[in-house]
Structure 1
Amino acid sequence: MNNPSIPASDRTPSAFDHRKYVAYDTPTLPDRTWPDRVITQAPIWCSVDLRDGNQALVDPMTVPQKLMMFELLVDLGFKEIEIGFPSASQTEFDFCRQLIEEERIPADVTIQVLVQAREPLIARTFEALKGVKQAIVHVYNSTSRVQREQVFRQDMNAIRQLARQGARWVKNYAQQYPDTQWRFQYSPESFTGTELEYAISVCNAVLDVWQPSAEAKAIINLPATVEMSTPNVFADQVERVHRALAYRDAVVLSVHTHNDRGTGIAASELAVMAGADRVEGTLLGNGERTGNMDIFTMAMNLYSRGVDPELNLADVERIEQVYTTCTNLPVHPRHPYIGELVYTAFSGSHQDAIKKCLAVRQPEDPWEVAYLPIDPADLGRSYEAVIRVNSQSGKGGVAYLLEQNTGYRLPRALQVAFAQVVQQESERSAKEIHAAWITQAFHDAYSQQAPLSVESYRLNAARGGKDQLSVEVIYHGQAQTWVGQGQGPLAAWVNAVNNHCGLSLEVDDYAEHSLGHDKDADAVAFVALKGNDTVFWGCATGSDIVRTALDAVVAGANAAIKQAVDKQDKQSA
């Protein structure tokens, strides 16, 4: 259709010309109520992975793959599962028969099948369902203006009569199989491209045929076969149908959104606020074009706000494994909730905030952690994967990874110093820096044990005076005994080191903490030695805290000795 907003003289073909598109008609609903509603319980979920998802694959699922997917959906808690289009192919027909004849359908699960409003296809569909305990027969015909005018070349009344006739065929064939508990579903395909009041009239015509009751409810499904508007417009459409639908107390109002505009999930969420009782979609959003509504994400959205999704999605490893095996599609690393990188922070400020929130959080507290909308552990993800380091990271992320790998809780000044070491390497390599490298780099930088090392020590603590410390050392390969005095063993040892190494160091900072919770746990000690306006950090671990402190001083002193030697070498050169 020509866009009247474009002057006739200017309607020339263009490779990229927005003027050939027209704005979507929006319903007039000034008294809309959905914006004030809050979702407090999960909708009825219906998975269409085995039908809509399957037909969108380059290589449709084999029967073993379909069985694997069906079993996953059952285990996740889906009570309604659309298994296919049994009148469309022998494979689809045989899969339906296999589920029924091998009694693979649990008593609390209802399978759903799709069929066009054509009598031979409806007859074949009921043949495929023979012997099933309960089933939903989902009949549809396209009602959109474009398809009426350009595909079917029929008027509104003819299309409405086709819907009514399809409903009659479904009802009549169901009567031939009285042992099955039947439920009927109708979709005005391409609902979003159908004039709203006309779509309502078609749905009501179908309901007049079925005459649903509170005991035998029908399903009216509103498919955004192609997503054409913003989610709020779809919500207005759903609320209008919700108000105008006949037999409303005997109807389950369902939606089936696609993701052509990238807002399929939002459209379904707003639709539930607008009165929809049921949502069709696929796990992880596989489907035609840009995909179907992603049930996993919508369910986890509810979960993250304290609403029971009524699906058990905790085993994300299995979900991802079955999904990739059955669809031959990858899971995007940024896919909400399940992607490899969704709980990962590289930014320094993000890492620092996460680290601090996790440090103060108590197990009984509500989940409130910066940048993490849910607890990764709920989906089997470890905290070790939350913070990862690259050139964008800061001291908090580096310190977090080191603590996860070693148990060390670095003093803030040491965090700053070590982060610079990691930053230099990440910028040099232009790659992510892993925890193993960080751990090794920390020990290389702050645990140097040459040319000086401690063999043993004797401490004579003086009450009210200076302590005397006698230490057996190896210095440049030679065994020696060094003696020092000071206010406490640390000061006494620094005094001895200065006297024998020609240094002028003093303790600028010291920290220690246990590496476990029992009385025999090792401890770690950190010491900062200042000399000539330079700070040399040392770290050591051990079960004897005095010896551990001495070894930490040794590590810092060795760094100072190395710097002095390097300076002399440069001057000599």
Structure 2
Amino acid sequence: MKDSTMKDSRTKQRLIIFDTTLRDGEQSPGASMTQEEKIRIARLLEKMRVDVIEAGFPAASPGDFNSVQAIARLIKDSTVCGLARANAKDVARAGDALKAAASGRIHTFIATSPIHMQHKLRMTPDQVIDHAVAAIKQARGYTDDVEFSPEDAGRSELDFLCRIIEQAIKAGARTINIPDTVGYNLPAQFGRLIEKLLEKIPNSDQAVFSVHCHNDLGLAVANSLAAVTAGARQVECTVNGLGERAGNASLEEIVMAVRTRQDEFICDTNIDTTQIVPASRLVSHITGFPVQPNKAIVGANAFAHEAGIHQDGVIKARETYEIMSAEEVGWSSNRMVLGKHSGRNAFKQRLKTLGFEFSSDDKMNKAFARFKDMADKKHEIFDDDLQALVTESGNEAGNERFILVHLQAYSATDQTPSAKVVMGVDGIEVKAEETGNGAVDATFKAIEKIIESGSALQLYSVNSITSGTDAQGEVSVRLEKEGVIVNGHGADMDIIIASAKAYINALNKLYNAEIRTHPQRAQAV
């Protein structure tokens, strides 16, 4: 096997974590993020010690270009990557977006499977190789760190893959990514593919081999780990497994599988695993994609035990039913002891421990005011309450066009539910009253009566942040209008108010939204 990274099994090798939450993850329908939201996620990924952050696809839209550029300027400890199709325009846009990066990478790709070359690209194999080589050489003019992906490698012919990868490495690509773009492969099959590529390609020792697996058959993590066992030393993944269709390989599952089973893997990541749960929650909140309770590592039930036998075992020795500790991945079983008499510094320090830092004193003061208000109403305040409180504060940007001033909702078993809403619209208070099938429906209708957005409600989701009847409710709303999809979020101990906040938050995003073209929807050349 021609993998120069292979060393004595007693020496742990580095497994590079390439996070594409901000690029591939954002391509999930409804998961589009604002620039500010992308920056928040990027900062937390940097804190997690993610090696490479794929910040976006600069040629897709001005908004994507600006987001990649902004992240490239801010992130210092992780490599910032921009995606580009194998054409001159895309590569130039990626290069320009990454100019200010402390460490920048251009990731260029072109499809290599017969079905893609024939029906999508309408190119011959030789033309595909020429485009790949030209793009890599152009990218090397901007940075020495160039990655090449033969899209749909999982369904490509082995001999052609070997040809194009050999030429890509000769042209200057130092990372070769093998994507299972449609999630078609099985673990043993995918592992053999990586082995064969490393063996057959003469210059394979001059590049790090990477994998990017989709989850269409629920095998993205299994395929990725099989590839690592076969010699791949970079895994492309996303927080919570976010991504197109059924998603991508889950970052948290990849990292903890390798970390937990060091008896099987001769490599390990540099990830600070205590940041996994905070990252999961932040991504879930921003995208509006809730994490299922039984999700590995980050699900609410991942470290919960109900069966008496399990409880007894864990009490006697945690390892009887837990193969990792909850604290290791960022869960905290400690109750939040801050109360209404707590000061700003204690509040700020606790949130810093939970992974939240404020960009301005004004934002901290708003969050602290919310905390004080909550402490007057709620008997027990948990870390989860604090995290929801801070993200809710983040929804109150000073430039929002619409704000909720007052809401009165009425519901009774023998009467039609109704809602009276007072909103601030561009600084002017406007009132409306409506009836509906329920208090939430009436509230949304009253808001629509004021705004007249003409949008369609695609998702309405309610989650209890903590336990008890005084728990905060977190509401996610997804709106669609003329192909633009946005998510809104709101949290409150009153679920009707939380719903109104979420709907208005979505409307603010809708009126500031940019239509974004994803790489897969763009015309390849």
Q: TM-score, normalised by structure 1?
A: 0.53
Please state how far the C-alpha of 1:233 moved relative to its aligned partner.
0.2
Q: 1:132 to 1:163 in 2, by over 3 A?
A: same
Matches within 5 A, 1:389-404: none
Partner of 2:313: 356
Q: In structure 2, what residue type is equivalent to 1:231? A: P
Q: CA deviation at 1:199?
A: 0.9
Partner of 2:304: 344
Worse-superposed segment, 190-199 or 54-63: 54-63
- Alignment of 1:325 onto 2:285: yes
In 2: Cα distance, 1:99 partner to 1:379 partner: 25
Residues 280-330 of structure 1, C-alpha deviations (whole Å, 9 max, x = no match): 110110001100110111111123235754211224552233112221110
Q: What SS does the aligned partner of 2:182 have?
A: coil
Q: Distance in 2 between matches of 1:382 and 1:94?
A: 36
Report what 1:123 is aligned to.
Answer: 92
Letter of the 1:161 partner, please give it: D
- 1:309–1:182 CA distance, 2 compared to 1 (3 A): closer
Q: Are positions 1:277 and 2:233 aligned together?
A: yes
Partner residue of 1:372? 322
Matches within 5 A, 1:13-32: none
- Deviation of 1:382 after TM superposition, in Å, equals 6.0
Which runs of structure 2 are paired with 1:281-296 in the superposition (5 Å)?
281-296=237-252
1:52 is matched with which residue? 24
The residue number in structure 1 matching 2:152 is 190
Q: Is the contact made by 1:57 and 1:327 (CA closer than 8 Å) also made in structure 2?
A: no
Q: Please, which moves more after superposition, 233-242 or 198-207? A: 198-207
Deviation string 1:192-231 (CA, Å, 9 cap, x unpaired) is 1111121111111122222x6xxxxx11110111111211
2:24 matches 1:62: no
Q: Write the letter of the residue equivalent to 1:326.
A: I
1:356–1:222 distance in 2 versus 1, CA, 3 Å: closer
Question: Deviation of residue 354 (structure 1)?
Answer: 3.8
Equivalent position of 1:133 in the other structure? 102
Partner of 1:333, secondary structure, is: coil
Amino acid of the structure 2 residue aligned with 1:335: K
Say whether residues 1:105 and 2:75 are aligned partners.
Answer: yes
Q: Is the 8 A contact 2:110 2:151 kept in 1?
A: yes
After superposition, give the CA deviation of every residue in 1:109-145 in whole Å (9 maximum; x if it has no partner).
Answer: 2111110011122222222222333311111111111
The residue that corresponds to 2:464 in the other structure is none
1:248-267 CA distance string (max 9 Å, x none): 33211111111111011011
2:254 counterpart of 1:298: yes
2:218 is the counterpart of 1:266: no
SS at match of 2:302: coil
**Residue aligning to 1:71:** 43
Tell me which structure has the larger Cα radius of gyration. Answer: 1
> Is this contact kept in 1: 2:71–2:80, CA < 8 A?
no
Higher relative CO (CA 8 A, sep ≥ 6), structure 1 or 2?
A: 2
Aligned to 2:60: 88
Q: Which residue of 1 aligns with 2:169?
A: 207
Supply the RMSD in Å over aligned alpha carbons.
Answer: 2.9
Instruction: Give the C-alpha shift of residue 39 in structure 1.
Output: 11
TM-aligned CA deviation for residue 62 of structure 1: 0.4
Aligned to 2:355: none
C-alpha change, 1:379 and 1:123, in structure 2 (3 Å) is closer
Paired residue for 1:10?
A: none
Alpha-carbon spacing, 1:333–1:129, altered in 2? closer, same or farther (3 Å): same
1:162 and 2:131 are equivalent in the alignment: yes
Counterpart residue number, 2:272: 312
Secondary structure, in 3 states, of the residue corresponding to 1:159? helix
**SS of the counterpart of 2:319?**
coil
**Alpha-carbon distance in structure 1 between the residues aligned to 2:176 and 2:272:** 27
**Whole-angstrom distance in 1 between the partners of 2:57 and 2:79:** 15
CA distance, structure 1, for counterparts of residue 146 and residue 203 of structure 2: 14
Superposition pairs for residues 409-488 of structure 1, below 5 Å?
A: none
Kept in 2: contact 1:45–1:80 (CA 8 A):
yes
Provide, for residues 7-55 of structure 1, a one-character-per-residue CA deviation record: whole Å limited to 9, x for no partner. Answer: xxxxxxxxxxxxxxxxxxxxxx9xxxx9xx9996551111011111112
Taking only the aligned residue pairs, the percentage that are identical comes to: 26
Q: Are 2:220 and 1:252 equivalent residues in the alignment? A: no
Deviation, structure 1 residue 56: 1.9
Alpha-carbon distance in 2 for matches of 1:319, 1:132: 23
* 2:113/2:152 contact within 8 Å kept: yes
Match of 1:240 among 181, 193, 196: 196
Secondary structure in structure 1 of the residue aligned to 2:273:
coil
1:98-119 residue CA offsets vs partner (Å, 9 max, x unmatched): 234xx4121x321111100111
Q: TM-score, normalised by structure 2?
A: 0.58
Matched positions, count: 329
